[in-house]
Structure 1
């Protein structure tokens, strides 16, 4: 964590002439963009895998109907199908999973009072009027939702809500364009339980997970919330672009059948 703190501090020092007291916040945004850029090849691969899963979705649905009363055989048959085609129902989750350590380090960095036995100076840095180590509850106590700090959080929440709504509407349109059985089968496969009857409802529930970021941002330090809004905004824009160009510069991906079962993050 001390290495991470040093990187953020050095980047903030470089940005201070431009962003003054908000230099550390700007450093967090740039650092997050750097992480997302490094993960871009994996995201492209995930979209290519999504295109393959879209093509396989009717065959997965057929397997589900054929082996509906034998879950173990269904799971083996589905796994064999994905293996033969060189894809995986969980491949789309890899970029999201690789970001989790960065998020947790960011959370710890702006929650710890000391780093390496010394006072954590980053806690005093701010995004406009709000300290990066503060929480929304602190802002509500200090001026209320329309106070100087509350307005910073309001802007953060508004941006997260806008991205989540866009992601949700796109997912709903994709779901409406696809076959319900194929979408349910893919939802089950994405959860590691292909063909389970309970997975039929997951196809409808999963798009709502994008709003979970809004709840998370309300309880974590502002710095972690800033990381979340940056990474989700990048993810939504990147995914829309990759789906438009097909992930590899080819024809557009038809995301309506068997799209990624991982929320944009």
Structure 2
């Protein structure tokens, strides 16, 4: 069964563009859960451009009260600074079910590549151990086609999250055959190494079902940008329900 985790970053972007408390990130989280989302995702960045540390604490409390999974994404190498205690400290304070490690720099508009395991494995291993000591399941962001994806298991990760941006671009261009084959191959190589597989980035209502039908045993999809954009037209509750129908259908296909 594939579960749906809704990323709330874009709600926070809208709030921060004006200041104040509207729209309310926690209320948006409640709405998503009421509509059937299996969990919530946030990606607090050190510059607090969207989700802030106080949001992380509030949403962790919501997920704990609802007994659903909370997933915190972030760069484990980013040092603490004013307003951002660091990813490990945030996880220590909130104990999310899952932490997804992403190698994004401060200047990146969005996450756009996975880890280089040849370069990063020695630095990743002790950090992954520290997150797991908090009781967090650890997923690491990987590029589709990465020949070293199995190394994620060697450094202690439980899962990988496939970066699906290139697949979404190929789907939009009209021919995703090669991208789907590459994603399926990467997923199978990760699974052969004992890793479970998540997926995320630019997945939407038009391309999600095709992805899940062709990539085996995807455990979780994390969707935010497209979902929030679609919700501007159809409403947040209705949009989350559409995504639930897609992932539920994929489980029985």
Asked if Structure 1 and Structure 2 have the same fold, meaning a TM-score greater than 0.5 normalized by the shorter chain, the answer is no
Larger Rg: 1
TM normalised by structure 2 equals 0.26
Identify, as 1 or 2, the structure richer in strand: 2
Q: Which has the higher contact order (CA 8 A, sep 6+)?
A: 1
> Normalized against structure 1, the TM-score is what?
0.25
Q: Which protein has the bigger helix share?
A: 1
